[in-house]
A and B are shown apart, each in its own frame.
Chain A
Amino acid sequence: METLKLAFFCWESLHSTFKVGGLAPAATHLAERLARRGHEVHFFTRGEGDDAVINNVHYHYCLPFGGNVIEYCRTMSNMLVDAFRAHDTPPFDILHFHDWHLVEALHTLRDRNTVLSFHSTEYGRHGGNFGGWWEFQEISGKEWYGGYIAKAVTTVSNSTKTEVMWLYNVPGWKVTVIPNGIDPDAYRTRLDPGEVKKRYGIHPLAPVVLFVGRLTYQKGPDLLVRAIPEILAKRWDVQFLFAGTGDMRGYLEGMVHGLPVQFLGYVSDADHIRLLNACDLVAIPSRNEPFGLVLTEAWSAERCVVATDVGGLSENIDNYVNGIKVPVRPDSIAWGICHLIDDPAYMQKLGRAGRRKVMEKFRWDVVTEKALGVYRKVLSGGLR
Chain B
Amino acid sequence: MTGEGLNPPKICLGFDIHYPCYLNPGFHPDVVKGKRNAKDSYFNPDAKEDLGGVIDRSFRPTTELLLELLDGGFTCAFAISGTVVEHLDAWYPEMLELLHRAATHRNTELLAQTYYHSVAGQFTDLTEFTDELVMHRDLMKEHFSVAPTTFAHTDYPITPATAEALAGAGIEAAIIEGGEGPALERDPNLIYTYHSLPVLVVHCDLSDDIAVRFPWRGWDKWPLMADQYAGWLSVSPGDCITLFLDYRIFGDFIGPETGILEFLRALPSALAAEGIETVRPSDAVRLAPHGDLEETDGPGRQRTILQQSAIEALEEAGGLIADPAVWRCLLETEHIRRMAMRSPSCGKPLHAVSHQATYDYFASFMRVLSHAEVRSAASAPSPKAALSLRCVPPDKAFFFSSYDRPAGYAAHSLQELANMLEFAPDDVIRYHVEREDFYRWIDQVIGDKKLAEKIRGVSDRNGLQSTIRKRIEKLWKRLS
**Are the C-beta atoms of B341 and A342 separated by less than 8 Å?**
yes
**Are the C-beta atoms of B184 and A348 separated by less than 8 Å?**
yes
Q: Which A residues are in CB contact (< 8 Å) with B302?
A: 205, 207, 280, 344
Interface size class of B (residues with CB under 8 A): 20 to 34
For B179, B409, B422, B428, the residue with the greatest tally of chain A CB atoms inside 10 Å of its CB is B409
Chain A residue, CB-CB nearest to B356:
A236
Q: Which A residues are in CB contact (< 8 Å) with B298?
A: 190-194
Using A237-B304, A352-B185 as known contacts, say yes or no to A345 and B344 having CB atoms under 8 A apart: yes
Least distance between B263 CB and chain A CB atoms (Å) = 27
Chain B residue, CB-CB nearest to A192:
B298
**Are the C-beta atoms of B341 and A206 separated by less than 8 Å?**
no
**Are the C-beta atoms of B405 and A205 separated by less than 8 Å?**
no
Among A204, A342, A344, contact of B423 (Cβ-Cβ < 8 Å) = A204
Please give the number of chain A residues whose Cβ is less than 8 angstroms from any Cβ of chain B in the complex. 33
**Are the C-beta atoms of B423 and A198 separated by less than 8 Å?**
yes
Cα A191 to Cα B297 in complex, Å, equals 8
Least distance between B12 CB and chain A CB atoms (Å) = 22
Q: Does A381 contact B (CB under 8 A)?
A: no
Least distance between B417 CB and chain A CB atoms (Å) = 13
Among A194, A236, A342, contact of B299 (Cβ-Cβ < 8 Å) = A194
Q: Does A202 contact B (CB under 8 A)?
A: yes
**Are the C-beta atoms of B404 and A258 separated by less than 8 Å?**
yes
Residues of B257-316 whose CB lies within 8 A of A: 297-299, 301-305, 307-308
**Are the C-beta atoms of A345 and B355 separated by less than 8 Å?**
no
Chain B residue, CB-CB nearest to A189:
B297
Least distance between A51 CB and chain B CB atoms (Å) = 43
Which DSSP category, helix, strand, loop or mixed, fits chain B's interface?
A: loop
Cα A205 to Cα B423 in complex, Å, equals 12
Q: Which A residues are in CB contact (< 8 Å) with B341?
A: 235, 342
Q: Which B residues are in CB contact (< 8 Å) with A234?
A: 354-355
Chain B residue, CB-CB nearest to A343:
B342
Bits for A244-262, please: 1 = Cβ < 8 Å to B, else 0.
Answer: 0000000000000111100
Q: Which B residues are in CB contact (< 8 Å) with A235?
A: 341, 355
Least distance between B223 CB and chain A CB atoms (Å) = 26
Least distance between A187 CB and chain B CB atoms (Å) = 14
Q: Which A residues are in CB contact (< 8 Å) with B301?
A: 344
Q: Does B126 contact A (CB under 8 A)?
A: no
Q: Which B residues are in CB contact (< 8 Å) with A205?
A: 302-305, 307-308
Cα A280 to Cα B297 in complex, Å, equals 13
Residues of B160-206 whose CB lies within 8 A of A: 179-180, 184-185
Residues of A301-340 whose CB lies within 8 A of B: none
A-B contact pairs, 16 of them (CB 8 A): A192-B299, A197-B423, A199-B423, A201-B407, A201-B424, A202-B408, A202-B423, A203-B408, A234-B354, A236-B355, A236-B408, A237-B305, A237-B408, A342-B342, A343-B342, A348-B185
Instruction: Apart from A201-B425, A203-B409, list 14 A-B contacts with CB within 8 A.
Output: A190-B297, A193-B299, A203-B407, A203-B420, A205-B307, A207-B302, A259-B405, A260-B405, A260-B406, A260-B408, A344-B301, A344-B302, A345-B180, A348-B185
A-B pairs, 3 with minimum CB distance:
A201-B425, A198-B423, A344-B302
